Structure 1
Amino acid sequence: MESMAASTSLPDPAGEFDRNVPRICGVCGDRATGFHFNAMTCEGCKGFFRRSMKRKAMFTCPFNGDCKITKDNRRHCQACRLKRCVDIGMMKEFILTDEEVQRKREMILKRKEEEALKESLKPKLSEEQQKVIDILLEAHRKTYDPTYSDFSKFRPPVRSKHGSKTATHSSSVVSQDFSLEDSNDVFSCDAFGAFPEPMEPQMFSNLDLSEENDESPSMNIELSHLPMLPHLADLVSYSIQKVIGFAKMIPGFRDLTAEDQIALLKSSAIEVIMLRSNQSFTMEDMSWTCGSNDFKYKVSDVTQAGHSMDLLEPLVKFQVGLKKLNLHEEEHVLLMAICILSPDRPGVQDTSLVESIQDRLSDTLQTYIRCRHPGPSSRLLYAKMIQKLADLRSLNEEYSKQYRCLSLQPEHSMQLTPLVLEVFGNEIS
């Protein structure tokens, strides 16, 4: 302890010391431990200089006064050793008094106590919270394939600069396997496991058409030529099924009634799809790449599916903003789960139970950000993520209007899959 407290260690006067270069004591050539009293020395010479200065020792060389001090003989001649200490720049002014040593010890102890307290107060993910994150990560990876390798039952994309009724018609009859029965099964007992049989459509198909006629004329889309509609309708159906699979694995979701599960999924499916699609979104050319260039979608492709530029501009802006948050995968899956478990969704009955599940997810997200996402950018990250959910609500509403507008056009309603019609509020006859 005396040796530690007896000196002040100074930084390398010449700059940062190269850690790869061996440190040599300037007095005896032994391995140095740092700068002590203004010179690079070993612990032995540091202690020798301090003791000599405090005792005001007067040494005499028994030889010629020019002894060569080494690691092995440094104890043989104290006079030449002390002279060597002074010659390399060691200064008695750097030696602490007993009072200063005591204050230094107290400061070191206080600093250690403060660091220990700070560490104890630092938020940590509980075992339960970590388990929730692990479950959500597994659920996401099981239900989201960035290569879209299992996206097989689809009508192929037909891209046309001017649109073509012939192209639309030909693409609509490809892959008849994607039938009404297959799509409708997603909301059946097979999809939800414990749901009662039979599943009545009116439980989740309540379409209000009171304002449809007023909204239709305002849609800035050319409804007569939509060659990409069949393909993107199939892609949306595929994505909805994946969202349902993800939701079923969210801790607490299966504790809800069948009616509330359906209400939550109908309202949030398109929003979760938008969140997931951010992983395939590229800011370089503002496009979505799903597995290969065959499934590379630009804004122009989406307009050929009936979506107006007035809607696509805020969608692209949303994708860019979300991408810039640089979310961890853990934060991404928690955000999707929070999006689904929203108690204010239309048709939800047990709002208190949904809210309690969402609160647990929100607490986990906030704790994760504090623990695992350090840096200035994390200070407002949670608030920015919640704002993204608010932005999604607006996008969801506008997209639903456009899909309902398409469903009112006989030539296009037949291109939409039953599952798309279900999610966007249309009844299946």
Structure 2
Amino acid sequence: NVQLHIVLFSSPPPPVLAQRLLSSNAWTPWEANEFDRNVPRICGVCGDKATGFHFNAMTCEGCKGFFRRSMKRKAMFTCPFNSDCKITKDNRRHCQACRLKRCVDIGMMKEFILTDEEVQRKREMITKRKEEEALKESMKPKLSEEQQRVIDILLEAHRKTYDPTYSDFTQFRVSSSSKRITRSSSVLTHGSSSEDSSDTFNCSLECVENRMFSNMALNEDSDRSPPMDINLSHLSMLPHLADLVSYSIQKVIGFAKMIPGFRDLTAEDQIALLKSSAIEIIMLRSNESFSLEDMAWSCGGNEFKYQIDDVTQAGHNLELLEPLVKFQVSLKKLNLHVEEHVLLMGICILSPDRPGLQDTSLVESLQDRLSEVLQTYILCKHPPPGNRLLYAKMIQKLADLRSLNEEHSKQYRCLSFKPEHSMQLTPLVLEVFGNEIS
């Protein structure tokens, strides 16, 4: 019998960096691109499931180890048959000579085998890298339990005061041009479907609501619609938008009451904060219903879809509406998480520079607390690239809201100065924004 000896006579070329980088389990970029990760990879030696490129060829773990051992021992194997055995997963142990020959045929190279010293250095590098990654991970900012509790409270407050179905909008007065103005007392007293109605809108409110919104618990006589012979054709949306704003103010009150620390303020300071921030929070809240596709606020279908023209029919002009739409677009493009949205609303309400505030230091400390939570949340939870300068951009939105607030106040004063327009506003709107004819 002729015995076949497989002996590797060629001396290995000097090791190079590229060869070392292609050592066990390492893939080159071109190798990774040539194979679809979803396609099963097969060992080129025995047909078993491959685990990657080993020593320059796609193989299983078994053939990888066999080739490494054979090269290190400088083994010489003899085929007991015809030196053309077909190697399979089941018989790969039967003929080491043909198995090794197959390894060489598919391109496995002994130059890619690391020495024991190189293996040790590689293991040390892997261990060091893992330790560095663990240290880096441990140094990342994390939300504390207290910060997470604050976020959870604000999320719950928003859930209780924001109805994404907008079902209550059906109770608002309709456009006066339709000659079907209906009473909205059900919206302002007993008709709210939100979960906080029993807490926020009943007649046993704490002193802050009693002092600030003395007309909140309205009877039917105080909330009658104006006579039908009043000509408001040029402000046909005023009754409906007045009810919408009045409804929204109630929701802002309910949200503010649940902000951690808000109830610790004096009644006067709570009143000052709510009066000065109400319209800004309404503008922030409305961003949830604003659509970039048609630049409109869609509140539960086409029936309550508000375009710019609709708001002009409520007495506001483009000096307010153009920057308002610009604000809505830029805010929408920030793609804020709901957590960031509710924190921004809380920060907006707790502004220490509001007029009429007495304990500005306490308000500032409460706002700083929410600001710190927001910055930590962005670092921990908002992935790049959206988180780049996100906090600064959000704070800029508060400055934009101040400008919008000033313009709204100016236009509101012009609107409420006329008795025929002021009569269309609800007592709650008149009390929050002021009654120029009182």
> TM-score normalised by the shorter chain: which range applies?
0.7 to 0.9
Look up the match of 1:111.
129
Question: Is 1:393 paired with 2:405?
Answer: no
C-alpha deviations, 1:271-320, integer Å up to 9, x for none? 00001111111222222122232222211111121111122111111111
Look up the match of 2:435.
426
TM-score, length-scaled by structure 1: 0.82
Question: Is 1:85 paired with 2:94?
Answer: no
2:391 pairs with one of 379, 382, 386: 382
Partner Cα separation in structure 1 for residue 94 and residue 234 of structure 2: 101
Q: For structure 2, list consecutive stretches of 5 or more residues without a partner in the other structure.
A: 1-21, 191-197, 215-231
Look up the match of 1:177.
185
**Cα–Cα, structure 1 residues 127 and 286, in superposed 2: closer, same or farther, change >3 Å?**
same
Question: Relative to structure 2, which stretch is displaced further, 146-155 or 12-21?
Answer: 12-21
Look up the match of 1:40.
58
1:409 pairs with one of 418, 422, 428: 418
Question: Relative to structure 2, which stretch is displaced further, 362-371 or 77-86?
Answer: 77-86
Q: CA deviation at 1:181?
A: 9.4
Instruction: Assess if the C-alpha contact under 8 Å between 1:278 and 1:319 holds in 2.
Output: yes
Partner Cα separation in structure 2 for residue 285 and residue 72 of structure 1: 65
1:199 pairs with one of 208, 211, 221: 211
Look up the match of 1:67.
85
The alignment's C-alpha RMSD in Å is 3.1
Look up the match of 2:220.
none
Instruction: Assess if the C-alpha contact under 8 Å between 2:184 and 2:243 holds in 1.
Output: no
Look up the match of 1:94.
112
Q: CA deviation at 1:17?
A: 3.1
Q: Percent identity?
A: 80
Partner Cα separation in structure 2 for residue 332 and residue 179 of structure 1: 26
Q: Which amino acid aligns with 1:257?
A: T
How many aligned residue pairs are there? Answer: 392
**Cα–Cα, structure 1 residues 198 and 306, in superposed 2: closer, same or farther, change >3 Å?**
closer
Partner Cα separation in structure 1 for residue 384 and residue 169 of structure 2: 39
2:376 pairs with one of 355, 363, 367: 367
Look up the match of 2:194.
none
Question: Relative to structure 2, which stretch is displaced further, 35-44 or 66-75?
Answer: 66-75
Q: Which amino acid aligns with 2:26?
A: S
Q: For structure 1, list consecutive stretches of 5 or more residues without a partner in the other structure.
A: 160-166, 203-222
Q: CA deviation at 1:8?
A: 4.6
Instruction: Assess if the C-alpha contact under 8 Å between 1:37 and 1:95 holds in 2.
Output: yes
Question: Is 1:49 paired with 2:67?
Answer: yes
**Cα–Cα, structure 1 residues 428 and 365, in superposed 2: closer, same or farther, change >3 Å?**
farther
Instruction: Assess if the C-alpha contact under 8 Å between 1:6 and 1:50 holds in 2.
Output: no
Instruction: Assess if the C-alpha contact under 8 Å between 2:24 and 2:53 holds in 1.
Output: no
Partner Cα separation in structure 2 for residue 181 and residue 35 of structure 1: 72
Partner Cα separation in structure 2 for residue 354 and residue 83 of structure 1: 80
**Cα–Cα, structure 1 residues 177 and 6, in superposed 2: closer, same or farther, change >3 Å?**
closer
Matches within 5 A, 1:124-273: 124-151=142-169, 153-158=171-176, 174-175=182-183, 177=185, 193-195=205-207, 199=211, 225-273=234-282
Q: Which amino acid aligns with 1:421?
A: L
Question: Relative to structure 2, which stretch is displaced further, 298-307 or 42-51?
Answer: 42-51
Partner Cα separation in structure 1 for residue 42 and residue 188 of structure 2: 82
Partner Cα separation in structure 1 for residue 212 and residue 342 of structure 2: 31
SS in 1 for 2:386: helix
Question: Is 1:23 paired with 2:21?
Answer: no
Look up the match of 2:224.
none
Question: Is 1:7 paired with 2:24?
Answer: yes
Partner Cα separation in structure 2 for residue 198 and residue 49 of structure 1: 85
Partner Cα separation in structure 2 for residue 295 and residue 328 of structure 1: 25
Instruction: Assess if the C-alpha contact under 8 Å between 2:296 and 2:305 holds in 1.
Output: yes
Q: CA deviation at 1:262?
A: 0.8
Q: Which amino acid aligns with 1:67?
A: C
Instruction: Assess if the C-alpha contact under 8 Å between 1:8 and 1:94 holds in 2.
Output: no
Question: Relative to structure 2, which stretch is displaced further, 60-69 or 6-15?
Answer: 6-15
Look up the match of 2:351.
342
Partner Cα separation in structure 2 for residue 197 and residue 313 of structure 1: 33
Partner Cα separation in structure 1 for residue 84 and residue 300 of structure 2: 79
Q: CA deviation at 1:372?
A: 1.7
Question: Relative to structure 2, which stretch is displaced further, 74-83 or 284-293?
Answer: 74-83
Q: Which amino acid aligns with 2:185?
A: D
Q: Which amino acid aligns with 2:137?
A: E
Partner Cα separation in structure 2 for residue 426 and residue 394 of structure 1: 21
1:353 pairs with one of 347, 353, 362: 362
Q: CA deviation at 1:130?
A: 1.7
Instruction: Assess if the C-alpha contact under 8 Å between 1:287 and 1:298 holds in 2.
Output: yes
Q: CA deviation at 1:339?
A: 0.7
Partner Cα separation in structure 1 for residue 171 and residue 312 of structure 2: 23
C-alpha deviations, 1:384-419, integer Å up to 9, x for none? 111111000011011011111222212222222221
